[in-house]
């Protein structure tokens, strides 16, 4: 039973949640505004949101038919019957509540309950919960209209990183938009690989992801652009701050991104593409760690 739920949580996607919070916290430390409580509660809240998103995606795709027998990727929990539709629905409610509670605690320890900033971030938090559920659920799930990329870029990039940074000290540096964009581009890349893998079944289910709309070949070109922009944005940030030695350190992760792109270009089947989701997610986490520790140490 536990194994079934761990599979449903899709643990291989969690490095993305850790990456955006890690980047925001590393940047806060770099600019001298780090708060350990904010870091821990941000990580907890984001992990709950990521699991919520994964469970909602499992439930929604099964209901709408994207997770059918024709799907070439790994079978999902509801699809193969390891978790019932009712149990999955109940788990979505549980993780939505956990996300909300953790988010309120985060705001309590960072900006204080009742402040204007509290209500702004509460609204963003509720929007994040709604976005996680609405991606593949409801009468008009936005993931079926090709809008998932924008949502991922915002929540795992700009909002995730900048929001975390702001909560550390209620301040914001404009230049952190660059590494925030890096995280957003890489996270969008993970979604894009997932959608390239599922082109056939998504098209049959009416899920018009970007790869379904533009075709596999163009989707791979789009993927290359995402990864390239992610690398360039971080380099520009480091150059502006004259962190030249850090560029050498961060470039190690670029080698993994290059390897990933090579595998994507060479993949002949969905089976060959599937491991690249985890590989890119882990490469993104490695990028954040190398970026963070190098700017703090040098």
CA 12 – CA 85 distance, rounded (Å): 22
Q: Which two tokens stand for residue 107?
A: 């705001």
Average pLDDT on 173-193 reads 96
- Please tell me whether residue 178 adopts helix, strand or coil conformation: helix
Neighbours of 84 (CB within 10 A): 11
Whether the Cβ atoms of residue 260 and residue 283 lie closer than 8 Å to each other: yes
Q: What are the distances in angstroms from CA 169 to CA 36, 56, 154?
A: 11, 33, 21
Q: Which residue is associated with the tokens 């079944």?
A: 201
CA 29 – CA 115 distance, rounded (Å): 24
Average pLDDT on 263-284 reads 93
Whole-number pLDDT of residue 97: 94
What is the tens place of the pLDDT at every residue in 289-298?
999 999 998 6
For the chain, what are the domain ranges? 2-297
Whole-number pLDDT of residue 35: 94
Say whether pLDDT at 200 is over 80: yes
Say whether pLDDT at 253 is over 60: yes
What is the tens place of the pLDDT at every residue in 150-173?
988 998 999 999 999 999 989 999
Average pLDDT on 111-122 reads 90
Query: Among 42-46, 113-117, 159-163, 249-253, which is the least confidently predicted range?
Result: 113-117
Q: Is the Cα dihedral 24, 26, 30, 36 positive or negative?
A: positive
Alpha helix segments (H runs only) across 111-198: 116-134, 148-153, 159-169, 177-197
pTM of the model: 0.88
Task: Give the DSSP H/E element, type plus range, for residue 64.
Answer: helix 36-64
User: For residues 287 and 60, which has the higher predicted lDDT (pLDDT)?
Assistant: 287
Q: What are the distances in angstroms from CA 44 to CA 50, 102, 106, 160, 199?
A: 10, 7, 9, 13, 33
Mean pLDDT rounded to a whole number for the chain? 88
């Amino acid at each position: 039973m536990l194994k079934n739920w761990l599979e449903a949580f899709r643990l291989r996607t969690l490095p993305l949640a850790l990456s955006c919070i890690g980047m925001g916290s590393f940047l806060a430390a770099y600019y001298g505004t780090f708060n350990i409580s904010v870091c821990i509660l941000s990580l907890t809240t984001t992990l709950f949101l990521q699991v919520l998103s994964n469970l909602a995606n499992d439930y929604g795709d099964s209901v709408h038919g994207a997770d059918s027998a024709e799907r070439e990727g790994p079978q999902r929990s509801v699809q193969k019957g390891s978790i019932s539709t009712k149990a999955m629905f109940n788990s979505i409610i549980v993780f939505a509540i956990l996300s909300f509670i953790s988010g309120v605690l985060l705001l309590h320890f960072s900006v204080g309950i009742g402040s204007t900033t509290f209500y702004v971030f509460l609204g963003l938090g509720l929007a994040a919960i709604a976005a996680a559920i609405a991606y593949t659920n409801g009468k008009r799930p936005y993931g079926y209209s090709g809008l998932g990329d924008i949502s991922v870029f915002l929540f795992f990039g700009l909002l995730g990183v900048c929001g975390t940074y702001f909560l550390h000290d209620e301040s914001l540096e404009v230049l952190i938009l660059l590494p925030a964009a890096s995280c957003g581009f890489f996270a969008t890349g993970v979604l894009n690989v997932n959608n390239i893998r599922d082109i056939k079944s998504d098209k049959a289910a009416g899920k018009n992801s970007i790869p379904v709309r533009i075709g596999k070949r163009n989707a791979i070109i789009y993927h290359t652009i995402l990864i390239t922009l992610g690398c360039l944005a971080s380099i520009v940030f480091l150059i502006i701050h004259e962190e030249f030695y850090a560029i050498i350190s961060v470039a190690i992760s670029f080698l993994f991104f290059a390897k990933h792109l090579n595998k994507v270009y060479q993949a002949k089947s969905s089976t060959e593409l599937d491991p690249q989701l985890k590989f890119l997610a882990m490469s993104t986490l490695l990028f954040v760690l190398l970026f963070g520790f190098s700017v703090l140490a040098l």
